Amino acid sequence: MRQRVWSLTIALCVALCLGLGANAGIASAQAFPLVVAQYTVAGEGGDVDIHYNVIIHHEERQVFHEGLTTSYYVPAELEIYPSGGKRSVMQGVYGFAHSNITGAWRGMFIEKNEKGVYDFDFDDAHLVPVEQASRTGVCFKTGPNQTARTLVEKFGARKYNSIAYVGSAAYVLNVLYALDKGNKVPPMVDEGTLR
């Protein structure tokens, strides 16, 4: 009898430890931020190189399928490392609206605020050209191919540098879209140095 009790106790302890370990592993994997892209914008004319890491918290993403539009939202961080300078972090939320009719994408990045309120408005009245989206809280056209590399090639590194989160949006969008379709998370994109 005593041997059965000890065997049962040991079996329960093993099961409990394995269960807790597995759950802890799952929880930590789900809560782990995901680096979706990294790149360096080369300095010009005495400016320093600036390295960016694009990070999302994909376990907190929200997707809304409403009529003609699908909307995606995810908390994100842009880690910024100027060459020889101090690291800074821009925290906020990316939002995207996808027209299920035209296939067009619109994006916004709103910096984290004390109230925790993020007012995403994808209407035409708030839409600005990508090259003018130099502040958070403005709506811009985007898409899976509007990456940092594409924007640097189009506008130049220094022009792009002032709108870092706009080029970052495409990498975030690709991950959110893949997850919404039930696909695996795409591998991190390393763009190297953009000039």
SS3 9: helix
In the chain, the percentage of residues whose pLDDT exceeds 70 is 79
Same-domain pairing of 55 and 129: yes
Same-domain pairing of 189 and 118: yes
Q: What is the pLDDT of residue 162?
A: 66
Global pTM reads 0.79
Number of domains, the chain? 2
For 95-99, what is the mean pLDDT?
A: 96
Same-domain pairing of 88 and 10: no
Q: What is the pLDDT of residue 27?
A: 40
Same-domain pairing of 137 and 116: yes
Tell me the residue ranges of DSSP E strands in the chain: 34-41, 50-56, 62-66, 69-82, 88-99, 105-111, 127-128, 139-142, 189-194
Q: How far is CA 69 from CA 64, 86, 88, 105, 137, in A?
A: 8, 40, 34, 10, 20
Q: What is the pLDDT of residue 161?
A: 63
- When mean pLDDT is compared across 28-37, 75-84, 180-189, the lowest value belongs to 28-37
Q: Which domain holds residue 1?
A: 1-32
Same-domain pairing of 20 and 58: no
